[in-house]
């Protein structure tokens, strides 16, 4: 499927799939940013997208970054109609400052189908085996 992409002048690289079969394309930081402990920042990617109707862009963390740093990369949605610059929200939970450099692969972009639901308000829902149980109700094993 074709997705139109526009490169802004400060873009480091267009998103890239690393391996055949990957669902996500790596997103590159378009600028450096120093995150002190507790800081949250919006890291720009230098790209704008035209996501086709019926789809969305999902911004997801790269698991390697989560394992190897104390950074938390927030999940985000690139709405079908959004034409602004794609960014990634990052928070430093670590005890030390962390430097993101221009060109670092900070997150991944997945293009995925979206179902637009039509909500039907009712007074009662059909019973189910799970019912309202959640939050670990099935135990560990
Ligand atoms: O991680 C993210 C999250 C959002 N966006 C862009 C695309 C998205 O379509 C737009 C708006 O995001 P969202 O709807 O999550 O923001 P909001 O806080 O609900 O703002 P709004 O009131 O503009 O919808 O910002 C990103 O580039 N990266």
pLDDT in tens, 2-34: 999 999 999 999 999 999 999 999 999 999 999
Ligand 1 mean position, distance from CA 94 (Å): 25
Q: How far is the CA of 116 from the centre of ligand 1 (A)?
A: 17
Give whole-number Cα distances, 58 to 21, 69, 115, in Å: 17, 22, 14
pLDDT, residue 64, reads 86
Q: How far apart are CA 49 and CA 7, in angstroms?
A: 9
Mean pLDDT by 10 residues, the chain (141 residues): 97 97 97 98 98 98 88 96 98 96 97 97 97 93 91
- Cα–Cα distances in Å, from 103 out to 11, 43, 77, 118, 120? 9, 11, 22, 41, 46
**Where do the DSSP E strands lie in 2-95?**
4-7, 25-28, 33-35, 40-50, 55-60, 71-73, 76-78, 85-92
Nearest CA to ligand 1 atom 10: 78
Distance CA 121, CA 108 (A): 36
Position 106 scores a pLDDT of 96
* Contact predicate 93/72, CB 8 Å: yes
> CB within 6 Å of ligand 1 — which residues?
59, 74, 76-79, 82, 86-89
Look at the domain 4-113 and name its fold. Deoxyuridine 5'-Triphosphate Nucleotidohydrolase; Chain A (2.70.40)
Q: What number is the ipTM of this complex?
A: 0.97
pLDDT value for 71: 94
pLDDT at 66: 84
């Amino acid at each position: 499927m074709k997705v139109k992409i526009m490169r802004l002048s400060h873009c480091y690289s267009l998103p890239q799939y690393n391996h055949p079969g990957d669902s996500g394309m790596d997103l590159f930081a378009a600028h450096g940013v120093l995150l002190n402990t507790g800081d949250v920042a919006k890291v720009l990617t230098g790209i704008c997208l035209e996501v086709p109707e019926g789809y969305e862009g999902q911004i997801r963390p790269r698991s390697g970054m989560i394992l190897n740093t104390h950074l938390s990369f927030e999940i985000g949605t690139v709405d079908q109609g959004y034409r602004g610059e794609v960014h990634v929200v990052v928070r430093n939970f670590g005890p030390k400052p962390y430097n993101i450099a221009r060109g670092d692969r900070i997150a991944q972009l997945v293009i995925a189908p979206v179902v637009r639901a039509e909500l039907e308000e009712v007074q009662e829902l059909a019973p189910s085996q799970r019912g309202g149980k959640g939050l670990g109700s099935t135990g560990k094993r």
